[in-house]
Amino acid sequence: MEVTSEAATPPRRRPHPHLDQMRRTWYFFRRNTLGLVGLGIVLAITGIALCSAALPIPWTSVPIWCATDYGPADTLSGYPGNYTQICPTNGPIICTYEVSPPPNAANFCGDLWYKDIVRSNISFASIIPPTLSISPVSAGPMPLGGLATSSGSRTPIYNVAAMLARGSDWSLLFSVSIVGLGALVGLLVGAIAGFYGGLLDETLMRLVDIFLSIPTILFVIVVVAVISVNLPSVAGGDVLVKVMALITGFVIVWWPFYARIVRGQVLTVREQKFIEAARASGASKRRILLRHIIPNSVFPVFIQFSLDVGTIPLLIGSLVFLGFGAQLFPSIPFPEWGAVSALSVTDLQGDFLNSCYTPAIGCVIPWWQLLFPGLALFFFAISVNLLSDGLRDALDPRLRR
Amino acid sequence: MQMWTYVVRRALLIAPVLIGVVTITFVLFAALPIQYQLLAHFGSPTVKQHCGYQPQCSCATLNPTSVNGNSCTCISPPTVTIPTGICANPVFQEYKNRLGLNQPIEEQWLTYVYHSFTFQWGTVSNYSTVAAVYPQLKGIPVATAIAWELPYTVELALLSLLIILVIAIPLGNASAVYRNRPIDQFSRIMSFSGYALPAFLLGSLVVMGVVLVMLPHTGFLVKTPWCHQGEPIDEELTYSFPPTTACYPGLGFGNSYPAWVANGVQSRPTGFFTIDAALHGNSWLALDSFLRILLPALVIAYGTVAGLLRFVRNSMLEVMNLDYVRTARSGGVPEATVVGRHAGRNSLNVTITVLGLTFAGFLGGFPIIEDVFHLNGIGELLAISANPNPGLDFAVIFGSTILFTFLIVTANLIVDVLYAFLDPRVRLG
Amino acid sequence: MSAASATLLGGGVGIPASPERPAATTEPGPPPADRPAAAPEVVLDVRDLRTYFFTYEGVVRALDGVTFQLRRGETTGLVGETGCGKSVTAFSITRLVPDPPGRIVGGHVVLQGTDLLQGLDIEARFRPVKGTNRVRVSRRFRRILRANERMEAVRGRRIAMIFQEPTQALNPVFSIANQVGEILFLHRGGEIVDEMLSATPDAEEVSPAIEGLIRAMVDQRPDGLRRAADDLGRAAHSSLIGTEAFYIAQAGGGAPDVRRRLAHALARLRLSPLQRKYLLHRRRLFELRQRTNRARLAELQRDPTAAQARRWARRRTTVERLTHVYFGLWGLRGWVRRPLDRALLWRVVRLLEEVRIADAPHVAQGYPHELSGGMIQRVMIAMALSGEPDILLADEPTTALDVTIQAQILELLDALRKRVGTAILLITHDLAVVAEVADRVCVMYAGQIVEQAPVRELFYRPLHPYTQGLLASLPRIDQPGKSLHTIAGSVPGLIDPPTGCRFHPRCEHAMPVCRGKRPTVTDEGGDHTVACYLYHGAPLGG
Amino acid sequence: MATSEAPIVISAWNVRKFFPIHGGLFSSKIGDVRAVDRVSFDVREGETVGLVGESGCGKTTAGRLLLRLIEPSSGQAYYRPPPEVHARLNQLYAYIRTFTATADQGGTLPPEARAAFTELDQLANRYSLFRMGPRAMRELRGKLQIVFQDPFSSLSPRMLVRDIIAEPLEIHGVGTRAERRRRVSELLREVGLNPEHEWRFPHEFSGGQRQRIGIARALALRPEFIVLDEPTSALDVSVQAQILNILRRLQAEQRLAYLFISHHLSVVRAMSQRVVVMYLGRVVEQAPTEALFQRPLHPYTQALLSAIPIPDPDLKRERIVLQGDVPSPAAPPPGCHFHTRCPAVMPVCSKVSPPLLEVRPGHVVACHLYPTPYTSAALEPITDQALPSSARAEADAPAS
């Protein structure tokens, strides 16, 4: 008599439920055009990052970067073709090319291109390989090569396009690893605090409050500064150590956000009846935490994660802008989008304004140098943001309207 | 629970946070090499001569933003070598004693906390970027330097907060009420772009834009009346105390003392330039000072509003579907009142809470903004002191970090009390 | 006491036969002849109301042709299981359906000759999306906005509502007096202001009344106290001061103390010129709003003065702005409007007394989260009745409450219905409640009304198999132990509901014809209508 | 069906739960919410005991306490106490009751009383549910299960139905994977669902079906005692009837003992053999169902019964409408908690809290209207389900 209608009509065979869930999510996600756009851009960037090492950079005659007294530039994997030029004034300049130094490699000897330029009325043309000479005054459309080079007066000149291509993988690496580790730590701390409660909860949450009341950038600055003065090797060019230092510095700052989010979520999940049901059937605390609480609290973490991934390059950029390049990276310029754009901004201010105040030159805006890194940064952040927005709508049934 | 009980409890709750923050800074500080600690305490030359503090490169006259661009080329921070012979000598030990660096760690911690809360934040080191940019700051206590710069930052913060509230609440409410209509799309674009445009990028663009616009007309931003235009910078003026970058050609941003000198205004009753100028009845100066902080404030507000808008909108959307809004409607309350009074009040609560949460990020943007716009606030001081060539100045870094944290904690306290005023459930619940 | 309860619970005495009996046997119900004669006027006539929700999954046909009437002073029960569209009906009548996703797509809601749904067709266009079962709705926001504005004239004043979940029904950040007072001023603003302006506390006029009050207080007779307080009110030409005085006296304390407080209260009645001015402005605003609403309703009846509405509205908003600016400029708004707030407070207190809330002033000054569900439900009723509406839509008013509280609320509703003569639509899933208070019952299933009858008819002669099933599956307190009859399965989803009679998949008497098309409504006599093929002269199945 | 000879599954004695209230400047403890105050009853094999009362009267907390999902403040609950132990407990509590008053005032107790308390303590240590170690408790949890009110939050939204139902089996390591699968599908069939459904997520089901899943989970470990916490109050009547019938059938098949918590008295009457009425954390009346519904003694019970709407338009009865609200359990009125709303209130009510007395065989009431306990053994032999309740009235073992 209790046999109900659904028992009478057996349901049709369906795909595996988890697959079915994914289908549902995709079904709802598809409707969010902006989300789709974001997804597309993110996928494209990932693609570039994965095959950037193999990307053919067309402008072989333009160095990826030149350096005077930085650490050996080829410490980064995949940057062959160093070309050293002995300058009378300030010693050797090492220029790194994509393949091999071209026959008509430009003369990069120091003062000419980074110090007195604004004083003397030498045009920028002299610091850019003759093949792609541009007139400084005309800020109109330029040959590709022009787009490709930076015109730093304080930093060495580098190949913007190449840097960006190279930068994609580093940016992704930093973003994902930093936010991922931070989220992991935060998830554990928050879940434990929220679940066990009591004194433990109090202590951990006070700690989180403390961490959260220090502005992120300042915190990173302090941490990285301390690390940098403590590990002389970091001041040197060892890539791995530096990258590790960078990631650690950020993770130390990053986890509290997640801890707070997760804890709030856990507090609501903990009150749900199915937790009590599990306890009633004798589940241990550990089991409840791992099987019930955490799986039901990850959703906001996931959303926050997808949001934060976009902000990391921005933050790194800000730090470099404040002059922390040397602490953060093994070499300046370093192929990371934030770093590149920040560097170009700092250059630009100086050069641009100085040139503006040098009647001989007039205002020269090497806009390519600002535009492309800026665009890379902007699109990365915004696409990630759109993606996460779309995901939230698709995964949260309340928002399906 | 009574209101005052709540307030007192909340106020008591911030004490552990403050101590905790100071403790963290202490841990980091204690992790510094000894000579940095010494320098941070008194950036005196004696430390140099006794401990062989020797920057690799001399960037004495360095000013990363100076016209004659004789810039420092050294990237690596000053490596400090302490010949044991020297550092073993009694004078050095005596310094260590004076700092209590020979005492057990908990003693040191106590002293550190005590110093932090009594604003004894050490001295500006002679060999740091700060000293190089603002030689007149050499060797003065960090607290004093910060105190000089505080008004700039507070002024800017207040203005940008005002802008944030004025933009975020109406726009968020509107985009919730007219969901998926043009205004909603506009706010969406605004929030996304504001989120994706880093302050340094946007700020620099604004600066250049302004300069480009102003230059042809030789606008006042460039030709600040107290600058000898076009002529090479006269050092005394630039390095006059309090610090100023007013005469940085092309960028007239940054309120600066010479303006007051030039206008024969000396006294600064409130310390806020705009207000003081108004008090002095110098309307032109007031306008000028206001315009100087207007753009930076807008840039900051843009970044913060981006985060806020979505919150306001979503909370408003939720509130609009709640039962009590339906109750008001069913009672015949006009739609405008429903939105403005019943729903708006609750979304205001949300806005304030979120603002409190994002306050850290909000203040964190100040070093960048002030650096970009050359406003001599604490942010710029921090930015400069954090610039590793020729030298980091940990006294300033830690000092301003502690100050920022104090500001943030206070702001959160205010927000919570405000929230309790607005929402009886917190007050009485 | 216990004896009384013993009799009223005594076994199966007077319990009617269970509804399993065949529907053929004619119950000596009330003769159908006298019904229409006795039937009072119809205040609300809902015809073929259809409300759909346009979601990604498809079109949810929440209401699909609902037809019923409300008569003055009658309580009509609307019964059905979860998800059958009971609440949606109420919201559709007052046009409070969340839009998007919901939308009223057709039908008429005629309120005393005015069709509230006029011009529905031009508010939106519907285009089915190919390949899916979805429909793209393009809304004309201006028209919808104006339609909602029109409803402002109806809501609260003509049709009031009470909701299911009391704990969230009131705004947590405003005090009770504040919220109820707002609604109260919307509907009764004019007289309130008049009373305030006419209040003239004259010392020698009121002093005897005060003395009387003191005396009543001293020889503590509550009724005497009340009467004395009212006398005082009359003496001061302000019934509000009467209420206030009553509570002042009730609070007690020494006679001089009370005298002092009374003096204070009376002094507060005197208005400063500015406050008077403010009140006059508010009065003007109120009148303008009345005009606007009247014009808006007239608009519905295709009245030539239709264009009037917007003009009034515009003028109102301008005056409103001016008022705010003017008094805002004084920087004294709090002070200026304090007398009005006090007056509202005491009006609200009196309203709360009507719904039998003890310690009304305290409750009125409190906040919603300090009140229990039952209290809030009472406040809601007070709010709903402040406009003395013709119709009260009560959406599961007692579901969230305990039985004892439920009894109180139901009694209250009934008393108010008798007093005000409101027509109540009582939406509930509890047939027993309906049996207690309703005069007529509509049984709803899957967005359609399957059976309608006077309450006795329905309970003694249920015709539709669904109704029979419902009645049979009730655990009867008077018939314990019997294994309960059940209706197999559950309410169908309304995106693609069953064809024909929507009940047929769960019906015991399902016939092939039930699958075909929706059964028409047939009148079975005794004002009893049912939509089922069993009564189409078809052979009884099962 | 439940004869008084049937063995007792759960027997609660003076169970108490006070939740502390924190407040003030340093959120120090400023009081107690007396959620459950000295509740005692037995549940026998194959028997359903109804626990009724208004919201906030502590009936749900009582159910949680018996399963030890909440730790009690005091009192004991015994799982399958041997008859002789149960008898002994009766005697002890009856004995202790004679000087409870002094015990409550913390006055000095005669040595023999101390002996009684120590013996109670020993018995508790040996048999009481509340004194068990975690491991023993975990073993026992299989026998004691619960079905929740809210069918929507009681199933983990991220787990498949099969995992939800199989979880208890996994926890207790019952059978192999394949056996568990088989068990799950058989359970689903038992509660009238289709085995195919194990492949779905909870959100794909209606309320009734979810409740069935909840029941299946509770049945997984072949329990002996199930707390039904308002299992149907979130459901429609037709579905409610389905669930109730399932529960009845299962009880008949497996001789389950139910504690049926509900505020819906007609459902309670339909389901249970004995009813316990609670008000503000205290038991005010306890009787066999028929006795209670035919002749309620406590004014509160009478009001409660008279407030139930009966689906019959012609049965217009004069109704006892209680005035006012339920007082907050944080500050219960002195004396009899009910006196603030009682229609038959007397001066004594606000001072002395009435003891639970057995005024008719098996019918226990705490009300000053019925001062004299039923004693004459000549009338009927006292059923031993009556005896304890009389004995247990107001005793409290400080040792526990």
Q: Which pLDDT tens digit goes with each residue over A228-242?
A: 777 654 444 466 777
Q: Show residues of chain B in contact with C153, CB under 8 Å.
A: 332
Q: Which pLDDT tens digit goes with each residue over D33-58?
A: 888 988 999 999 999 999 998 888 88
CA D185 to chain centre: 31
Q: Which residues fall within 8 angstroms of residue D300, CB to CB, at 6 or more apart?
A: D277, D279, D284, D285, D338, D341, D342
Looking at the DSSP assignment, which residues form a beta bridge with residue C60?
C53
Contact assignment for A5 to C505 by CB distance below 8 Å:
yes
3-state helix, strand, coil in chain B (%, to 5): 65, 0, 30
Looking at the DSSP assignment, which residues form a beta bridge with residue D51?
D261, D276
Contact assignment for B428 to C370 by CB distance below 8 Å:
yes
Q: How is residue D288 annotated by DSSP? A: E
Mean pLDDT of chain C: 81
Residue A127: band (very low, low, confident or very high) from pLDDT cuts 50, 70, 90: very low
- The mean per-residue pLDDT over the stretch A374-390 comes to 88
Q: Which pLDDT tens digit goes with each residue over B243-256?
A: 333 333 333 444 44
CA C378 to chain centre: 12
Residue A190: band (very low, low, confident or very high) from pLDDT cuts 50, 70, 90: very high
Q: String of b and e for B108-124 (b: at least 16 CB within 10 Å)?
A: bbebbbeebeeebbbbb
Q: Which residue bears the tokens 């004594």?
A: D348
The C-alpha R_g of chain C, in whole angstroms, comes to 27
Domain of A278?
A: 38-59+163-399
pLDDT of residue B49: 45
Query: Token pair of B241, please?
Result: 């105390």
**Which amino acid is located at C85 in the chain?**
G
Q: Which pLDDT tens digit goes with each residue over C139-182?
A: 888 888 888 888 888 998 899 999 888 888 898 888 999 999 99
Query: Token pair of D357, please?
Result: 């007395």
Q: Which residues fall within 8 angstroms of residue B48, CB to CB, at 6 or more apart?
A: B54, B126, B127
CB nearest to B200's CB, from A207, A318, A378: A318
How far is the C-alpha of C146 from the C-alpha of C155, rounded, in Å? 14
pLDDT at position B74 over 60? no
Contact assignment for D145 to A295 by CB distance below 8 Å:
no
Q: Show residues of chain A in contact with B73, CB under 8 Å.
A: 68-69, 90
Q: Tell whether D28 lies on the interface with B, counting CB pairs under 8 A.
A: no
Contact assignment for D221 to A21 by CB distance below 8 Å:
no
Residue A5 lies in a domain: no
Q: Show residues of chain C in contact with D266, CB under 8 Å.
A: 432, 474-477
Poorest-pLDDT segment among A168-172, B416-420, C316-320, C436-440? C316-320
pLDDT of residue B85: 47
Q: Subunits with at least 3 CB pairs below 8 A relative to chain A?
A: B, C, D
Identify whether the C-beta of residue C231 lies closer than 8 Å to the C-beta of residue C206: no
Q: Which pLDDT tens digit goes with each residue over C34-80?
A: 444 456 788 999 999 999 988 777 888 899 889 999 998 899 999 98
Coil vs helix vs strand at B270? coil
How far is the C-alpha of A231 from the C-alpha of A240, rounded, in Å? 13
Q: Show residues of chain D in contact with C484, CB under 8 Å.
A: 241, 244-245, 270
Q: How many other CB atoms sit within 10 Å of the CB of residue D71?
A: 9
Q: Tell whether C484 lies on the interface with D, counting CB pairs under 8 A.
A: yes
**H or E element in which residue C503 lies:** none
Contact assignment for A31 to C506 by CB distance below 8 Å:
no
pLDDT of residue A92: 55
CATH of the domain at A339: 1.10.3720.10
Which residues does chain D have with pLDDT short of 50?
1-3, 376-400
Strand order in the sheet with D282-288: D144-147, D225-229, D257-262, D48-52, D274-279, D282-288, D363-365, D357-360
Residue B299: band (very low, low, confident or very high) from pLDDT cuts 50, 70, 90: very high
CB-facing half-sphere around the CA of D87: CA atoms within 13 A: 4
Q: Which pLDDT tens digit goes with each residue over B321-342?
A: 888 899 999 988 888 888 888 8
Identify whether the C-beta of residue C75 lies closer than 8 Å to the C-beta of residue C417: yes
**Higher local confidence (pLDDT), C203 or C20:** C203
Among A63-67, A154-158, A311-315, C33-37, top mean pLDDT goes to A311-315
Q: Show residues of chain C in contact with D296, CB under 8 Å.
A: 2, 5-6, 9
For residue C296, CA distances in Å to A347, B128, C114, C315 come to 66, 75, 11, 14
Residue A1 lies in a domain: no
Residue A278 lies in a domain: yes
Q: Show residues of chain A in contact with C488, CB under 8 Å.
A: 3-5
Identify whether the C-beta of residue D15 lies closer than 8 Å to the C-beta of residue D76: yes
Looking at the DSSP assignment, which residues form a beta bridge with residue D275?
D50, D287
Q: String of b and e for D240-255 (b: at least 16 CB within 10 Å)?
A: bbbbbbbbbbbbeeeb
| Closest by Cα among B75, B151, B20 to B392 | B75
Residue A69 lies in a domain: no
Contact assignment for A349 to B195 by CB distance below 8 Å:
no
pLDDT of residue C385: 85
**Higher local confidence (pLDDT), B78 or B202:** B202
Residue A32 lies in a domain: no
Q: Max CA-CA distance within chain D?
A: 68
**Which of D21, D22, D25 to mutate to probe the B interface, most B CBs <10 Å?**
D25
Contact assignment for D296 to C2 by CB distance below 8 Å:
yes
Query: Token pair of A261, please?
Result: 């989010």
pLDDT of residue C177: 92
Coil vs helix vs strand at D208? helix
Among A84-88, B203-207, C416-420, D279-283, top mean pLDDT goes to D279-283
Q: Show residues of chain A in contact with C100, CB under 8 Å.
A: 401
pLDDT at position B262 over 70? no
Identify whether the C-beta of residue B374 lies closer than 8 Å to the C-beta of residue B254: yes
Residue A46 lies in a domain: yes
How far is the C-alpha of A357 from the C-alpha of B138, rounded, in Å? 30
Contact assignment for D326 to C372 by CB distance below 8 Å:
yes
Beta strands in D45-73 (DSSP E): 48-52
DSSP string, C314-378: HHHHHHHHHHHHHHHHTT-HHHHHHHHHHHHHHHHHHHHHHTT-TTHHHHHHS-GGGS-HHHHHH
CB-facing half-sphere around the CA of A240: CA atoms within 13 A: 0
**H or E element in which residue A43 lies:** helix A33-51
Contact assignment for A401 to C100 by CB distance below 8 Å:
yes
**Which amino acid is located at B129 in the chain?**
T
Distance from CA of A331 to the nearest CA of B (A): 10
Q: Which residues fall within 8 angstroms of residue A89, CB to CB, at 6 or more apart?
A: A109, A110, A111
Could you give phi then psi for residue C261, rounded to 5 degrees? -65, -40
| Closest by Cα among C467, C484, A246, C99 to D269 | C484
Q: Tell whether C242 lies on the interface with D, counting CB pairs under 8 A.
A: no
pLDDT of residue C539: 45
Identify whether the C-beta of residue D343 lies closer than 8 Å to the C-beta of residue D303: yes
Residue A84 lies in a domain: no
Task: Give the residue on D whose Cα is nearest the Cα of C359.
Answer: D324
pLDDT at position B378 over 80? yes
Number of domains into which chain A is organized: 1
| Closest by Cα among B328, B320, B326 to B346 | B320
Task: Give the residue on D whose Cα is nearest the Cα of A6.
Answer: D194
Identify whether the C-beta of residue D65 lies closer than 8 Å to the C-beta of residue D284: no
**Which of B177, B181, B327 to mutate to probe the C interface, most C CBs <10 Å?**
B327
3-state helix, strand, coil in chain C (%, to 5): 50, 15, 35
Q: Show residues of chain D in contact with C435, CB under 8 Å.
A: 309-313
The sign one gets for the Cα dihedral C501, C504, C506, C509 is: positive
Residue B233: band (very low, low, confident or very high) from pLDDT cuts 50, 70, 90: very low
**Higher local confidence (pLDDT), A143 or D133:** D133
Residue A23 lies in a domain: no
Poorest-pLDDT segment among B168-182, C66-80, C182-196, C527-541? C527-541
Q: Show residues of chain D in contact with C481, CB under 8 Å.
A: 270
CB nearest to C101's CB, from A2, A4, A401: A401
Identify whether the C-beta of residue B137 lies closer than 8 Å to the C-beta of residue B243: yes
Poorest-pLDDT segment among A93-102, C268-277, C361-370, D323-332? A93-102
- SS3 string, A74-95, reads HHCCCCCCEEEEEECCCEEEEE
pLDDT of residue A158: 59
